[in-house]
Amino acid sequence: MTKSDFLVIGSGIAGLSFALKAADYGSVVIITKKTDSESSTNYAQGGIACALGDDDSKEHHIADTLSAGDGLCREDVVTAVVNEGPDMIRQLVEWGCRFTKKENGGFSLGREGGHSRNRIIHTDDLTGREIEGALLERVMEHPNITGLENHIAVDLLTEHNLGVITKPRAVSCFGAYALDEATGKVETYMSGTTILATGGVGQVYLHTTNPGIATGDGIAMAFRAGAKVGNLEFMQFHPTSFLLPDGTSFLISEAVRGYGGVLVSRSGQRLMENHPMKDLAPRDIVARTIDHYLKSSGEDRVYLDVTGFDSDATKKRFPHIYETCLKYNIDITKDPIPVVPSAHYMCGGVVTDLNGRTTISNLYAAGEVALTGLHGANRLASNSLLEAVVMAERAAKMVAEKRQLTSELPDIPDWNERGTFNPEEWVIISHDRNNIRNLMWDLVGIVRSDFRLRRAMNRIELIREEVGKYYRRTKLSHGLIELRNMAICAWLIVKSARHRKESRGLHYNTDYPERDDAVWRHDTFIQNEEILA
């Protein structure tokens, strides 16, 4: 058993920035299921949205965020995140983040879809990697922080582990069980405060820009523990990803369209001409436009064209994209980039307040795993990293004032694996994983219908039941833990999507093609398998 004042599950921008703040008040343990640099943050190309330009204002940024959120943003959260953003940018610079500057020393500000002004702070096209590296360097230097790689969280510790039945409002978190992959043993990590910073759930879809770790672990663990989750019908599909030969997707940043790139068909027809913002329309609109074109034309891709710009300027602005595409014989200065939409960002998650507190005592959440109310029904590009640092800061301030002492923690029993056996065939796990990803892509994707959602629910119910039985009798492995979480998250997404009888933001149902504010202008909450709103 390991005890700490703070337990951080995940090592992206939210988890690392919280750890650096919380370490001023006590001991911090970070557990991450891969290497400490493997996170969605590391994959983020575009940047951080912040109103710093001479022609920009916080009011403009707030208005753009509310517009993209399609009626479901919490205005108090939007206002707080936007207003506190500049201080967080200064903090990141102090921590060593080197953002791209102009010749006059000011930040180079890019433009992305849905933004009315240039406000994307970036480091070329590898902003996430720059932030991740700077934060990791500071974390590794801090004497109060212990980082544990290749430790995958299994379940949160609550009164349930003591054999005590409590009402949802009375549940408390005391830490987590985690599998140490080096030893194959499940260890107990007790903590006065636990924060989920586990990222998203893109891996439940066949095509995704997310890293392999994005299997919804935090959402699934919190839901099993009795936390309220919400708005899981709103999965954002990034309009432009380069589909690699191995079936994975490489993100082509929204900044490419902000730079002036246009979406065209194979014949060169421009696809976004009918929208007022053209190629800089919000992601949900662009993704649906591409999806409609692909299904109506029979084509399997569209193209993002930046060939009309100075080649040296393009290479300088997008060095990582240029080099990656060149490996596959695509020179973006001469050739249009073949792209398709891919699952990218979950706008729903574990419900929190404005200080990161979930509905479980002593359990916080920040980053993509959390539903704060900032994104509403559709995330405005590059608001995610901003939200992560602001909410991590707010959570750290809150726990400094209100936290459970380790001396008050109960005696949680060690993990018990009696009655389990070693799995003989990996194919059982890989088969169900592939089934989930395929059915979610085919039936619960960019465009949905009642028929597709019913079919998806019938299938995911069977998979979830099968995985649950297999889990209970089998010795734990990394793959099995992820599969269990993916099955639960897929089920939650489908259940949420079936409940919402309208089209709004990222949820488009052909049986209810219009937005219905009179009935559906509210969040979708699920707790203990029941729809609450």
| Active-site residue list | 283
DSSP 101: B
Q: Spell out the residues 6+ positions from residue 421 whose beta carbon is closer than 8 angstroms to its own.
A: 473, 474, 475
* Cα 519 to Cα 300, 365, 533, distances in angstroms: 37, 29, 11
- CB–CB of 335/303 below 8 Å? no
Instruction: Give the residue ranges of DSSP H helices in 175-299.
Output: 217-225, 255-259, 283-297
| Rounded-to-integer distance, Cα 512 and Cα 78, Å | 28
Q: Which of 350, 243, 349, 359 lies closest to 303, judged by CA?
A: 243
**Which residue is listed with tokens 């979480």?**
485
Structure tokens at 272: 């976004």
Give CA torsion, residues 8, 9, 12, 14, to 10 deg.
-50
Helix, strand, coil abundance in the chain, percent, nearest 5: 40, 20, 40
| Rounded-to-integer distance, Cα 13 and Cα 409, Å | 28
**Which residue is listed with tokens 């979830």?**
464
Structure tokens at 141: 């230097």
| Rounded-to-integer distance, Cα 412 and Cα 154, Å | 15
| Rounded-to-integer distance, Cα 299 and Cα 282, Å | 23
For residue 331, with 0-12 CB atoms within 10 Å meaning exposed, 13-18 middle and 19 or more buried, which class applies?
middle
Q: Which of 130, 138, 140, 178 lies closest to 156, judged by CA?
A: 178
Q: Which of 411, 397, 398, 5 lies closest to 194, judged by CA?
A: 5
Q: Which of 348, 388, 394 lies closest to 11, judged by CA?
A: 388
> Rounded to the nearest 10 degrees, what angle do helices 127-141 and 13-22 cross at?
30
| Rounded-to-integer distance, Cα 89 and Cα 97, Å | 9
Structure tokens at 33: 């299921």
- CB–CB of 44/119 below 8 Å? no
| Rounded-to-integer distance, Cα 339 and Cα 241, Å | 5
Q: Spell out the residues 6+ positions from residue 153 whose beta carbon is closer than 8 angstroms to its own.
A: 9, 31, 33, 176, 177, 178, 198, 217, 218, 221
DSSP 414: P
